[in-house]
Copies of this chain bind each other. A is one copy, B any other.
Amino acid sequence: MSQTDSPSRARRADAERNRDKILAAARAAFANPEVEISMAEISRRAGVGMATLYRNFPGRRELLEALYTDEVDAVCDAAGILEPETPGVLLLAWLHRFFAFFTSKRQVGAELLKHSEGSVPVMGESRARVLAAGRPLLVAAQRSHEVREDLTLEQVLDMIVAVASIHGESDYLEPILQTTLDGLRLPTDIEPT
A120-175 with Cβ < 8 A to chain B? 148, 150-151, 155, 158-159, 162-163, 165-168, 172, 175
Q: Which residues of B contact A190 (CB under 8 A)?
A: 182
Q: How many copies does the complex hold?
A: 2
* Cβ-based interface call for A37 (8 A): no
* Cβ-based interface call for A183 (8 A): yes
Which of A168, A180, A181, A190 is packed against the most chain B CB atoms within 10 Å? A180
Q: Which residues of B contact A167 (CB under 8 A)?
A: 158
Q: Looking at the complex, which one of B151, B162, B175 makes contact with A150 (CB distance below 8 Å)?
A: B175
9 new A-B contacts at CB < 8 Å, known A162-B166, A162-B176: A148-B179, A151-B179, A158-B167, A158-B168, A158-B176, A159-B163, A178-B183, A180-B183, A182-B182
